[in-house]
Amino acid sequence: MFGLSLLVSGLAWWLGLYLLARDPRKPLLWWAGAGMIGYSVAVVAPHPVVIGVPALAWTGAILVLARPELIRWWLVALPAFFAASFFAPWVVLLPLATVTVLAIRKRAYFSLVGVMFGLSAGAFLLGLLPDAITLPSLGIDVVAFGVLVAVTDAVEEGEAIRADMLRSLVISGFTAVLFGSQVVLFGGPELLVFTTVAAAIAVQVLANPLASVADRLAVPAVAAQRAELREAAESLPRRRPLITEDEVEFARLTRKALSHYGDLGKLVASPLIALTDDGSPLDRAAQLKSMLLASIQRLKPSEGDFGTSDEWRYYNAVYFYYVKGIRPYSVRTKREDLDAEDRRALQWFVTQVPERTLHNWQNAAARLVAADLLAGVGSA
């Protein structure tokens, strides 16, 4: 039982950290990662309240996928359900069951995993089956859910996932065995084995964030350059082949590349890198960035430097947002380096352009940029 618990706990811990490390800015990965980590802790300390944490976290993850407009209400209700779980642990299954039903039409496969987890968690919380049966069953559901989340995120990013996940799993498994086996061989307590394995996995999965922190403290002058190089190296296994015959998919990949315009490390993983000449990964990413800028510039009307008429909207939507980095709706972004043209654009966005409208314009502009890139491919 100890060996099985260690395996399941370590796998869930790795998968949770892997999801968080993919992109800590994404709510889906945060919710799913928290659920994985919560389950890993529950294997070590199988208390009903602890086992409820994955159910609460995955309720949020499924909501992000199926009904993102409801996530703010879940944030309000979450503390109440968590507090209630101290008195009635089964109560955490109610919101999970509700969002599973809501997700049936949009994300049927996540609904299936939600049902599987709900049944296993219910059997554990109600004491219907021995822990030796329910915990491994929950582990299967955990892995299935985590892999589905990772694959979903990779598809949305236009990235490959198998090689990247396998690489991370192999290195994490090696480090876990290397350090955990020493504690076992010398007769250390079981809790120390769990914590040693968890620490070994965390150091591997979070190597890049930890290195970034160390760089900012030790070598701040080159911290940004080192982070960019690490990001590029990590992105290489995520690159997938480019298929130019599917215009809809090509436009989606172009939209994603535009969103990563200022991040060469992210552009390294873009399938659009296949449009560039041979060279080092960062050189090709820089070339792709130049190609995107050239296509954006071709959207600009011929008269003047800035305008707000209909013919300017697509150019403004992508140029000022992605190239100039203006975020008109972000309360956290304060720019002091804006020139007169940028300030005019910012004022126009804030006062005249609703956020949803800007999003629609960016989608339309991305299709035009994609068509321009495809035209360049066809004429090459």
In a shared domain, residues 335 and 272: yes
Least confident of 70-74, 76-80, 86-90, 199-203: 86-90
Kindly state whether residue 126 falls inside one of the protein's structural domains.
Answer: yes
Of 156, 181, 205, which residue is a domain's last?
A: 205
Show the tokens assigned to 94. 């109610």
Alpha carbon distances (Å) from 200 to 15, 24, 129, 176, 194: 14, 20, 32, 5, 10
Of 205, 227, 259, which residue is a domain's last?
A: 205
Average pLDDT for 11-20: 93
Top-confidence residue, 93 or 268: 268
Top-confidence residue, 121 or 75: 75
**CA dihedral angle for residue 10, residue 16, residue 22, residue 27, rounded to 10 degrees:** 180
**CA dihedral angle for residue 337, residue 339, residue 340, residue 342, rounded to 10 degrees:** -80
What's the confidence (pLDDT) of residue 168? 94
Query: Under 8 Å CB-to-CB from 212, ≥6 apart: which residues?
Result: 223, 226, 227, 230
What's the confidence (pLDDT) of residue 319? 93
Kindly state whether residue 231 falls inside one of the protein's structural domains.
Answer: no
In a shared domain, residues 270 and 318: yes
Kindly state whether residue 19 falls inside one of the protein's structural domains.
Answer: yes
In a shared domain, residues 201 and 244: no
Average pLDDT for 283-310: 89
Least confident of 69-73, 98-102, 201-205, 229-233: 98-102
In a shared domain, residues 124 and 183: yes
What's the confidence (pLDDT) of residue 121? 62
In a shared domain, residues 187 and 82: yes
Top-confidence residue, 350 or 142: 350
In a shared domain, residues 168 and 260: no
Average pLDDT for 280-300: 92
d(CA 126, CA 118): 12
Average pLDDT for 281-295: 93
Q: How confident is the model at residue 380 (pLDDT cuts 50, 70, 90)?
A: very low
Average pLDDT for 193-203: 94
In a shared domain, residues 137 and 201: yes
Average pLDDT for 94-118: 68
In a shared domain, residues 171 and 256: no
Residue 53 has pLDDT above 80, yes or no: yes
Kindly state whether residue 315 falls inside one of the protein's structural domains.
Answer: yes
d(CA 262, CA 83): 43
Number of domains in the chain: 2
In a shared domain, residues 245 and 200: no
Kindly state whether residue 357 falls inside one of the protein's structural domains.
Answer: yes
d(CA 241, CA 253): 12
What's the confidence (pLDDT) of residue 109? 58
Residue 327 has pLDDT above 70, yes or no: yes
d(CA 4, CA 12): 12
d(CA 27, CA 25): 7
What's the confidence (pLDDT) of residue 378? 44
Kindly state whether residue 225 falls inside one of the protein's structural domains.
Answer: no
Tell me, letter by letter, the H, E, C secondary structure of the chain: CHHHHHHHHHHHHHHHHHHHHHCCCCHHHHHHHHHHHHHHHHHHCCCHHHHHHHHHHHHHHHHHHHCHHHHHHHHHHHHHHHHHCCCCHHHHHHHHHHHHHHCCCCCHHHHHHHHHHHHHHHHHHCCCCCHHHHHHHHHHHHHHHHHHHHHHHHHHHCCCCHHHHHHHHHHHHHHHHHHHHHHHHCCCCHHHHHHHHHHHHHHHHCHHHHHHHHHHHHCHHHHHHHHHHHHHHHHHHHCCCCCCCCHHHHHHHHHHHHHCCCCHHHHHCCHHHHHCCCCCHHHHHHHHHHHHHHHHHCCCCCCCCCCCCHHHHHHHHHHHHHHCCCCCCCCCCCCCCCCHHHHHHHHHHHHHCCHHHHHHHHHHHHHHHHHHHHHHHHHC
Residue 48 has pLDDT above 80, yes or no: no
In a shared domain, residues 263 and 332: yes
Average pLDDT of the chain is 85
Q: What is the CA radius of gyration of the chain?
A: 24
Q: How confident is the model at residue 113 (pLDDT cuts 50, 70, 90)?
A: low
User: For residue range 358-376, what is the model confidence (pLDDT) as tens digits?
Assistant: 999 999 999 999 999 988 7
Q: How confident is the model at residue 130 (pLDDT cuts 50, 70, 90)?
A: low
What's the confidence (pLDDT) of residue 231? 87
d(CA 212, CA 39): 28
Residue 13 has pLDDT above 50, yes or no: yes
Kindly state whether residue 234 falls inside one of the protein's structural domains.
Answer: no
Nearest to 176 by CA among 202, 151, 148, 197: 197
Least confident of 140-144, 199-203, 350-354: 140-144
Of 180, 205, 230, which residue is a domain's last?
A: 205
Kindly state whether residue 227 falls inside one of the protein's structural domains.
Answer: no
d(CA 11, CA 130): 21
Residue 271 has pLDDT above 70, yes or no: yes
Nearest to 37 by CA among 25, 54, 23: 54
Show the tokens assigned to 25. 């800015």
In a shared domain, residues 199 and 335: no
Rounded to 5°, angle at Cα 82 from 37 and 98:
90
266 close to 159: Cβ distance less than 8 angstroms: no
In a shared domain, residues 24 and 155: yes
Residue 379 has pLDDT above 60, yes or no: no
**pTM across the whole model:** 0.85
Domain that holds residue 256: 240-379
What's the confidence (pLDDT) of residue 7? 86
Average pLDDT for 281-291: 92
